[in-house]
Structures are given as C-alpha cells and as structure tokens.
Amino acid sequence: MSAFITIDGLNFGIFIRGLLVVGVGIAVLMGSVFLLLATNSGFRTGMFLALTGLFGWMFIMGAIWWIYGIGYQGRLPSWKVIEMNRGDLTAAQFDKAANLGQGLLTLEEGASSPAVALEGVFEEAEAAAEAPVVAGWTGMLASNRSRGEAQATVDAFLLSSKELEAGSYVPVAAFEIGGKEKKDPEDVCKPRLINATWGGCPAAAWHRVKIALTPRHPAHYAAIMVQSATPQSLNVRPGEAPPLKEVDETQPLYTVIMERDLGSKRVPSANITIGSGIIFFTLAWRLHRRDKQEMAVRAAYAR
C-alpha cells in the first residue's frame, strides 16, 4: 500500500492535500468576490470587474518584484569560463588575455617564477590599498567582493575538470577588465544631519546618471591565476596547524579566463508587470466604454 502513497520520493498525501488547499483557497476567496460582483452587476460585468482587480493587483505586485529584484526570479548573475591557459598566457586565444600576458612579462623580470612575481606585486598593492593595473587589466584585491565569487567559480571549474585537486593549489593573482565604470571611492556623499559630507555628491550623482544612460552593459572579464602548492606545504601533521601553502615553481601557472553573465534576474517579474499592465488597462478601458454607453442610454431614456 505504501508504494501507492510514495512514488519516486513524492508523497501524494502531502501533494494532494496541498493542491486541495490551494484550490479551495482560490474558490473561496476569488470565487466569493466574483459571486458578490456577479450578483450585483451581472455575470459579464462581474467577470470584467474581478479580472480588472486581479490584473491590477498583479501589475502592482510585479512592479514591486521588478524594482527590488524579489519574488519570481530568473537566472542570477554568475561567471562563465571561456578559456583556461596553462603556462604561457601570451599564447591565450582571447586577445585581451594575451595582452595581459604580455604586460606581465615586465613584472616577471628578476623573479624566480611568474607566481612569485605576482605574489610580490599583490602584497605591495594590498599594503598600499591600491589595485595594480597591467595592460588595461585591474588587479582584484582581497577586499574586492567580486574576487570571492570569481574564485569560487574557478574552484568549481578546476574540480569538475579534474585539472587540480581540492586544496592542492594556491590562488596567486586576479585581474578584471571591462564592465560599467565604477564610482571613484574619493567621491564621498553622505547627506545627513550629523557629520554630513556633500563634496562628492555632484560627482556621485553624475556617475549614477552616466550609468542610467548606458543602455547596454559593457563586457566584463576576469582572469584568475592559481598554481599548485608544494607537497611539503600540503603535508599536515597530526595535532599541528596546517602550514601555509607555498607555490610549486616547477608547476605551470593556471589562468582561468571568465566572462560575467548578468543573468535574467528581473526578466520574469518584468514580463509579469508588462503583461498584467496591458491586460489591466485593456479591461479598464473596456469598463470605461461600457460606462459611457450606459450613461448615453440612460440620458436618451431621460428625454
């Protein structure tokens, strides 16, 4: 008997019960409103009034979803891997990545390996809190929240492709290029009663205007570089803290190049808003015409 109750992990008792609850709720709540309107205005007019109210409510709900990015959502923004390079980045198929490789050659002079040179550059950048710029690419510091998401995407890609094992490599550097223009951090705008800062408000307002006037999002790319760790630094002795991972200079430098996919988070809510708005205004216009016709008929009989 239990085989008929649960099939493929689906509990039909809960499913049917939930379906009946939703059906009864729709029949009682929406049906009672339609019944009240139909008995007072007639079946056809009551149907028009009920549908107009329903799609008006859906229009308002969809607009709120659209503005705040909540409710029924589409694909969320994510990073998509477009290429992975081993060793010589100047040989990358992606032209901008090859330009980055050419720019990094000047940083590698005098260093024992590219990874060591990059680690030194980023250590200085972190201390100065100023991202390095190489061949148009901007370094992604540890404080850059985009780097964590990009690094997680790279970790998942390397594990799924079985290029490297989990925890067996060291993140070396990260660069990004493209995307919409970012606001200058020196343009501080805090309009408030206490400790207000108004100096950067004009520049911050102009930045928002420029972003709003840019209809399309420029392509945004990221290059995340990792390298295998030495076996000694991966050896964890019982009872001791794990040692700091060190790059294995005999192994190639992996560079994963990704493109930002902005997704379609607000597209479903936008479709609901536009579709419901069209239906709502069409029904409202039809009701308005009906009222005008009825007033004209009443005026004719009043004569």
pLDDT tens track for 152-180: 999 999 999 888 888 889 999 999 999 87
- pLDDT tens-digit series, residues 208-260: 787 777 777 889 999 999 999 988 888 878 877 778 888 888 889 999 999 99
- Please provide the average confidence, as pLDDT, over all residues in the chain: 86
Range list of β-strands (E), the chain: 6-7, 10-11, 78-86, 133-134, 137-139, 169-178, 220-228, 253-261
**Sequential pLDDT tens for the chain (303 residues):** 444 555 555 566 777 788 888 888 888 888 888 888 888 888 888 999 999 999 999 999 999 999 999 999 999 999 999 999 998 898 999 999 999 999 888 877 767 788 888 888 898 888 888 889 998 999 999 888 889 999 999 999 999 988 888 888 999 999 999 987 777 766 777 777 677 777 778 877 887 787 777 777 889 999 999 999 988 888 878 877 778 888 888 889 999 999 999 999 999 999 999 999 999 999 999 999 999 998 988 888 876
Which residues in 164-175 are b (16+ Cβ under 10 Å) and which e? beeeebbbbbbb
State the pLDDT at residue 1: 45
- List the one residue out of 145, 77, 115 whose CA is nearest residue 227: 115
pLDDT at 145: 85
Q: In what order do the strands lie in the sheet with 169-178?
A: 78-86, 253-261, 220-228, 169-178, 137-139, 133-134
